[in-house]
Amino acid sequence: MPVVQVNIKDGRTLDQKRELVSRITDALVDVCGAARDRVHVIINEVAEESWGRGGQLLSDIAAIAVQEKERK
């Protein structure tokens, strides 16, 4: 029973999540020969203020980008 966990920033639509689950499932069926009904995909949605990159929170990175754009 393959289980795939995907961590993504929150804000995706239900249709986008459906497509993501479908394509990941297709890949496991095609590449690994997994039975479609045995593939599990878990989507973990993380808020920008709970995700860091390069030593900064994504929410702070986004705020800095907006400030820099406003200066131009």
- Tell me the CATH number at 34: 3.30.429.10
Q: Name the token pair of 44.
A: 């973990």
Domain extent for 43: 3-71
- pLDDT tens digits for range 7-53: 999 999 999 999 999 999 999 999 999 999 999 999 999 999 999 99
3-state SS of the chain: helix, strand, coil percent to 5? 55, 25, 20
pLDDT at 72: 82
Q: Which of 2, 4, 21, 41 is catalytic?
A: 2
pLDDT at 71: 87
| Catalytic site includes residue 26 | no
- Phi, then psi, of 5 in degrees rounded to 5: -110, 130
**pLDDT for 69 beyond 90:** no
Domain count, the chain: 1
**Residue carrying the six token digits 């820099």:** 68
Whole-prediction pTM: 0.81
